[in-house]
Amino acid sequence: MQFDKSNQLRPRFHQLIPGGAHTYAKGDDQYPENMAPYIVRGQGCRVWDVDGNEFIEYGSGLRAVSLGHAFEPVVEAARAQLALGANFVRPATIELECAEQFLQLIPGADMVKFSKDGSDATSGALKLARAFTGRDRVAVCANHPFFSVDDWFIGSSGMPGGIPESTRALTLKFNYNDLASLDALFDQYPGEIAAIFLEAEKETAPTAEFLAGLRERCDRHGTVFILDEMITGFRWHTNGAQAYYGIKPDLSTFGKALGNGFSVSALAGKRELMQLGGSEHDRERVFLLSTTHGAETHGLAAAIATMRYYQAHPVVDTLWQRGQRLADGLKAAAAKAGVADFVPILGKPCCLVFGSRDQDGQPSQPYRTLLMQEILQRGVLATSLVVNYSHTEADIDQTIAAFADAFVVYRQALDQGIERYLKGRPVKPAIRRFA
């Protein structure tokens, strides 16, 4: 693989775009030095860069592309809608059509409001919770890395620059699968917590009592239970992880796989909360989600087509099956190379990630970089192992073969020293305080 054209583009990206990318997780600091391809097109599970390199891609647009790049039924729906106009001075009928389709899939929700990104949806959910409860504080799961670009969350992250301390102090943290840590917050701040925020699951599955315990505590303390389904929605289950686990949040937020990469997100939930953003009640109104492009018609058309495809085809089952094939093959290859303890394959089959550990078994960015360096050279672009519906069994097998070769190099680096194999600087966490 040669990356000459990508490397020539990098200075121009950084000159005009802070950080060189519009999403920190897509930055070139997330890739091995001089091996960060700029993409020109994608089809199915494959992408091509400016140098003409072809990759089997995982991560799928940061988990947004569930069906595949340029997936024809979705593209055609958006294309047909574009011919009718994208934005009007009054609501378009497609807004109601999309709402009805969405609420058919998420039966625990009474109302839905669409927007363009996940942060608007999650921040809208918090605003509703604060208005409904009259409280200011929010408790977020400390083990889940991202909920919003807005101050209420970023102020509590590893990159809080520009956020007032008074805002930072309103966000509290509890631990996943640790009900006692949430109880401690309720004891410390009685009657002050408006909402709790978490994902149903990341790499660690919930214990039998955890999610039900959260529901019970929110009911007992008058706190709004908000479930972030940006990632789990339409991957764990066609009706969301809330259906998979049988949990009923007060509010939930969706995005990513909702539109197969098109910009559309959703805030949904109980009528008594959602209607605060409307005008048919006698309480003080909440300025909820009101964006010029929130109901852009071609994005909603893409969402409708995506949701209908989920209903008509075994998308989620296929994600699980392909992911399981990938996990089994990678674990076997890692064991054969003697690196199973150093490159763990984690998460549900529909949303896998890989770990990277050094000789002492500690998480290691240099070893992560080495692994990515080796798989990139073998035609696999993967910061995670998230499959989409277009990954075939042959694609999975080719990926396993690429990782198997990379695992051999990883083992050699463990034995002989990584400096002999790593060709540039290590990657860095996307959210960090300093350069």
100-109 pLDDT, tens per residue? 999 999 989 9
Indicate if 121 and 54 belong to the same structural domain: no
% the chain with pLDDT above 70: 100
Specify if 432 maps to a domain. Answer: no
**Of 268, 295, 322, which closes a domain?**
295
**Of 295, 325, 359, which closes a domain?**
295
Give the pLDDT score at 283.
Answer: 82
User: What total number of domains does the chain contain?
Assistant: 2
Give the pLDDT score at 281.
Answer: 73
Indicate if 230 and 334 belong to the same structural domain: no
CATH number of the domain that 337 lies in?
Answer: 3.90.1150.10
Give the pLDDT score at 272.
Answer: 95
Specify if 300 maps to a domain. Answer: no
Give the pLDDT score at 59.
Answer: 87
Is the pLDDT confidence value at 377 over 80? yes
pLDDT in tens, 118-161: 999 999 999 999 999 999 999 999 999 999 999 999 999 999 99
Indicate if 44 and 98 belong to the same structural domain: no
Residue 47: which domain range?
Answer: 4-69+314-420
Indicate if 332 and 231 belong to the same structural domain: no
pLDDT band at 60 (very low <50, low <70, confident <90, very high): confident
pLDDT band at 325 (very low <50, low <70, confident <90, very high): very high
Give the pLDDT score at 174.
Answer: 98
Average pLDDT over residues 338-359: 98
**Of 251, 268, 295, which closes a domain?**
295
Specify if 47 maps to a domain. Answer: yes
CATH number of the domain that 167 lies in?
Answer: 3.40.640.10
Indicate if 20 and 169 belong to the same structural domain: no
pLDDT, the chain, mean:
97
Specify if 301 maps to a domain. Answer: no
Indicate if 332 and 398 belong to the same structural domain: yes
Is the pLDDT confidence value at 354 over 80? yes
Give the pLDDT score at 399.
Answer: 98
pLDDT band at 327 (very low <50, low <70, confident <90, very high): very high
Specify if 113 maps to a domain. Answer: yes
pLDDT band at 279 (very low <50, low <70, confident <90, very high): confident
Q: What is the 3-state secondary structure (H, E, C) of the chain?
A: CCCHHHHHHHHHHHHHCHHHCCCHHHCHHHCCCCCCCCEEEEEECEEEECCCCEEEECCHHHHCCCCCECCHHHHHHHHHHHCCCCCCCCCCHHHHHHHHHHHHHCCCCCEEEEECCHHHHHHHHHHHHHHHHCCCEEEEECCCCCCCCCHHHHCCCCCCCCCCHHHHCCEEEECCCCHHHHHHHHHHCCCCEEEEEECCCCCCCCCCCHHHHHHHHHHHHCCEEEEECCCCECCCECCCHHHHHCCCCCEEEECHHHCCCCCCEEEEECHHHHHHHCCCCCCCCCCCCCCCCCCCHHHHHHHHHHHHHHHHCCHHHHHHHHHHHHHHHHHHHHHHHCCCCCCCEECCHHHEEECCECCCCCECHHHHHHHHHHHHHCCEECCCECCCCCCCHHHHHHHHHHHHHHHHHHHHHHHHCHHHCCCCCCCCCCCCCCC
Indicate if 267 and 132 belong to the same structural domain: yes
